[in-house]
Amino acid sequence: MARKIVITSGKGGVGKTTLAVNLGVALSKRGERVIVCDADFGLNNADVIAGVENLVNYDIVDVIEGRCRGAQALVRHPAYGNLYLLASHSAPERYISPQALKLVLEGLAPKYDFILVDCPAGIDEGFHRAVACADEAIVVTTPHLPALRDADKVITVLKSYEMQKISFIANMVRGDLLVSGQSLSVKELESILKVPLLGIVPDAYDLYLNRLDESAKAFKVLASNLITGKRKLPDVTSRYKGLTGAIRRYFKSGL
Ligand SMILES: Nc1ncnc2c1ncn2[C@@H]1O[C@H](COP(=O)(O)OP(=O)(O)OP(=O)(O)O)[C@@H](O)[C@H]1O
Ligand SMILES: [Mg+2]
């Protein structure tokens, strides 16, 4: 039976969809059967980030309205055989109830290990619909105060749901700024959000360019933490320490 995990944030653009897809890739490479469900109706783009937009024939609304079965709507990733995408619908005016989406995912859950639900930004209807489908939540934040404030608000709302687990991922972490003390440390992030840290993902050129699987190391650790419940963190600062590290920091300081 799949663990149904909503990937949420509050603030937009912090990397929810990028993390959902890349975490899905990492889990699938460990042999886990994974569905990434795009629950961002209207501004859906998980299919694009996964690189399967041309393979989508049916979406969630087709399943809800009986035009196909749940399994028929899944797009199997051509490069990662255990990874499937359940595409969203791009018409924002359509009303989709939380119960309808929940039923679709519950129908698929027995044959999969993970369903990662990509949530829209904000805490309105779309957020509640995505959250209502899940048993666990991962809150994505960047190490910036506006994102943290929104993440904190989202965590407060999530606590009113009966979630089995709530954790957070710090995304776009910059090792150079951590070393120079200009970025909030992992400890500071944990003390602000007061839920367990699942892992960190560095600010990476490959992720910025949406090159799937190029930041495999960070997501491998993340997938392992999710499965084992342990907490390992990739070292994002080592290349910015010492003399060569100082030179790298100098060249990155203008970015
Ligand atoms: N670790 C990272 N390093 C560099 N760029 C990143 C990283 N994570 C995400 N990005 C980039 O940030 C942008 C926003 O990412 P993404 O669309 O995944 O965010 P989102 O939270 O899903 O946004 P929305 O709230 O609009 O759904 C994208 O251009 C993505 O490539
Ligand atoms: Mg998104």
Measured by CA distance, the residue closest to atom 29 of ligand 1 is: 208
Compute, in angstroms, the gap from residue 14 CA to the centroid of ligand 1: 5
What is the rounded distance in angstroms from the CA atom of residue 85 to the CA atom of residue 133?
16
State residue 215's pLDDT score.
77
List, chain by chain if needed, residues with CB within 6 Å of any ligand 1 atom.
9, 12-18, 40, 121, 171-172, 201, 203-204, 207-208, 210
- Residue 16 Cα, ligand 1 centroid: separation in angstroms? 7
The minimum-distance atom of ligand 1 relative to the CA of 14 is: 21
What span, in angstroms and rounded, lies between the C-alpha atoms of 254 and 178? 15
Contacts for 247 with CB less than 8 Å, ≥ 6 apart = none
CA angle 108, 221, 35 (to 5 degrees): 15
Q: What pLDDT is recorded for position 93?
A: 66
Contact 127, 11 (CB under 8 A): no
pTM above threshold 0.85: yes
Alpha helices in 41-179 (DSSP H): 46-50, 60-64, 70-73, 98-108, 125-132, 145-159, 175-179
Q: Which amino acid is at 18?
A: T
Whole-number pLDDT of residue 29: 96
| DSSP H or E stretch at residue 85 | strand 83-86
Measured in residues, the chain has a length of 255
Which CATH architecture fits 3-252? Answer: 3-Layer(aba) Sandwich (3.40)
- Full pLDDT tens readout for the chain, 255 residues: 999 999 999 899 999 999 999 999 999 999 999 999 999 988 899 999 999 999 999 999 999 999 999 999 999 999 999 999 999 987 766 788 999 999 999 999 999 999 999 999 999 999 999 999 999 999 999 999 999 999 999 999 999 998 999 999 999 999 999 999 999 999 999 999 999 999 999 999 888 888 887 778 899 999 999 999 998 988 888 888 888 888 888 888 766
Closest listed residue to residue 36, CA positions, set 115, 134, 133: 115
Given the CA of residue 205, which atom of ligand 1 is nearest to it? 4
Cα 21 to middle of ligand 2, angstroms: 10
Query: Which residue, among 125, 123, 81, 77, has the nearest Cα to 101 in the 3D structure?
Result: 125
Q: What is the C-alpha to C-alpha distance for residues 158 and 154, in angstroms, rounded to an integer?
A: 6
Question: DSSP code of 167?
Answer: E
Task: Locate the domains of the chain by residue range.
Answer: 3-252
